[in-house]
């Protein structure tokens, strides 16, 4: 949303240029946030592979575009380059010379092989920041292993914490390890660029799906590593230690309630007409309610089943943190998205009108310019012109295989 007091102010990242050797979800999710904040993100796509694999992921996959690809790549630029080709490599270095960062989400052993590291590029640009996002990092015996969100959720313990007790381990309904690592990589990129602009010297920055997912274990990791306390799965998505902090069935659906402060428990018992529960010494404190959760929760569950979700929301909103458990269609209500300035809507030459969720940062003086994602190599001519190549030089690069096999 524009701030009327700051007319014409540049986007926060308008001076940032990122060369992104990226594909699929995790890497492009991180640079999507940078692009929405005004950064110039130039995708380097492999012509031999048909570009970013996300272009062919359904639904809506058509002529090198898809709704999946749109979700991660709006507002970026694209050039198809063969980084294993001498001419392609030379053109890539010309782009790097004018960039702030090189960002990739390739397998951990590939950045070194393709020359995407600081050692390989510092002679071209001493201030370049080289960010690598991989499954298991650029070092160690697993560096050459590919990895995906579901695998990471499985082996870092996420799946063991998700789902109902007694049910099979479950992956989150969203690829949260991908998204968290994309954001971690973008954060690392900005930290590196800030330092490089201060010192004139760039560096390597390495993150991985595995390490980020481990970091997301947060307090549950602290419990286990410090005291051997294992967080068990609880019914209805209940918090492992705070009670009540979970979903409850109502007469027509579900409601989420979060009593993360003592005052909220007192407000809840008053709001649902069970005053005596907050006066019971077995439920007096966080520790008491945790110890006696099996005695407390049946009382709450029975009361919530007596009325509708909307009726409970009317009684509890403003007093107790609560929310309806919505389906996707209701959560993505267009009017609600527009009211929160969270609707990204634009026209696409192949897909027609594309609607998605927008930038989750509201920055004064900046309104994101949502634009269609690039076609494969669609910005090649403009980028080469910006680098000073004439038509003859471009033809020579093409004949030499810079943009793929002639």
Active-site residue numbers?
A: 178
65 vs 80: CA distance, rounded Å: 15
Residues 258, 321 contacting (CB under 8 angstroms): yes
Residues 384, 403 contacting (CB under 8 angstroms): no
226 vs 216: CA distance, rounded Å: 16
By CB atoms closer than 10 A (0-12, 13-18, 19+), residue 258 is: middle
Cα four-point dihedral sign 268, 270, 273, 279 = positive
DSSP strands (E only) in 108-264: 129-134, 203-208, 245-249, 254-258
**332 closest CA partner among 353, 357, 351, 352:** 357
Residues 404, 51 contacting (CB under 8 angstroms): no
Residues 268, 340 contacting (CB under 8 angstroms): no
By CB atoms closer than 10 A (0-12, 13-18, 19+), residue 264 is: buried
DSSP strands (E only) in 167-221: 203-208
In sequence order, the 6+-apart residues with CB closer than 8 A to the CB of 376 are 45, 47, 50, 51, 52, 55, 64, 78, 80
List the beta bridge partners of residue 65: 62
Residues 397, 403 contacting (CB under 8 angstroms): yes
């Amino acid at each position: 949303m524009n701030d009327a007091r700051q007319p014409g102010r540049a986007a926060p990242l308008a001076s940032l240029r990122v060369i992104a050797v990226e594909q699929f979800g995790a890497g492009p999710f991180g640079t999507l946030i940078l692009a929405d904040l005004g950064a110039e993100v130039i995708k380097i796509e492999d012509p031999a592979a048909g570009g970013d694999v996300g272009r062919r992921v359904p639904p809506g996959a058509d002529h090198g575009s898809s709704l999946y690809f749109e979700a991660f790549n709006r507002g970026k630029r694209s050039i198809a380059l063969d980084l294993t080709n001498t001419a392609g490599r030379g053109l890539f270095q010309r782009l790097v010379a004018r960039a702030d960062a090189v960002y990739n989400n390739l397998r951990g052993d590939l950045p070194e092989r393709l020359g995407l590291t600081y050692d390989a590029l510092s002679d071209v640009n001493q201030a370049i920041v080289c960010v690598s996002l991989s499954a298991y990092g650029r070092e160690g015996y697993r560096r050459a292993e590919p990895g995906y969100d579901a695998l990471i959720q499985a082996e870092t313990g996420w799946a063991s914490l998700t789902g109902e007790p007694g049910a099979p381990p479950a992956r989150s309904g969203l690829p949260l390890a991908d998204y968290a690592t994309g954001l971690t990589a973008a954060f690392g990129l900005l930290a590196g660029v800030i330092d490089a602009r201060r010192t004139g010297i760039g560096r390597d920055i390495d993150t991985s799906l595995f390490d980020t997912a481990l970091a997301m274990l947060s307090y549950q990791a602290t419990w286990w590593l410090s005291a051997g306390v294992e967080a068990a799965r609880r019914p209805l998505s209940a918090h492992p230690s705070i009670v009540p902090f979970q979903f409850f069935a109502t007469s027509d659906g579900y409601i989420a309630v979060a009593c993360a402060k003592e005052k909220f428990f007192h407000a809840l018992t008053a709001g649902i007409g069970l005053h005596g529960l907050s006066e019971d010494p077995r439920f007096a404190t966080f520790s008491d309610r945790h110890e006696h959760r099996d005695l407390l929760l049946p009382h709450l569950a029975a009361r919530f089943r007596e009325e509708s979700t909307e009726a409970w929301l009317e009684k509890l909103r403003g007093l107790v943190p609560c929310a309806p458990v919505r389906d996707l269609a209701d959560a993505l209500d267009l009017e609600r998205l527009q009211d929160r300035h969270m609707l990204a809507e634009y026209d696409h030459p192949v897909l027609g009108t594309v609607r998605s969720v927008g930038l989750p940062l509201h920055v004064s003086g900046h309104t994101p310019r949502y634009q269609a994602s690039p076609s494969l190599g669609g910005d090649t001519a403009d980028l080469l012109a910006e680098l000073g190549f004439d038509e003859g030089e471009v033809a020579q690069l093409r004949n030499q295989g810079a943009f793929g096999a002639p």
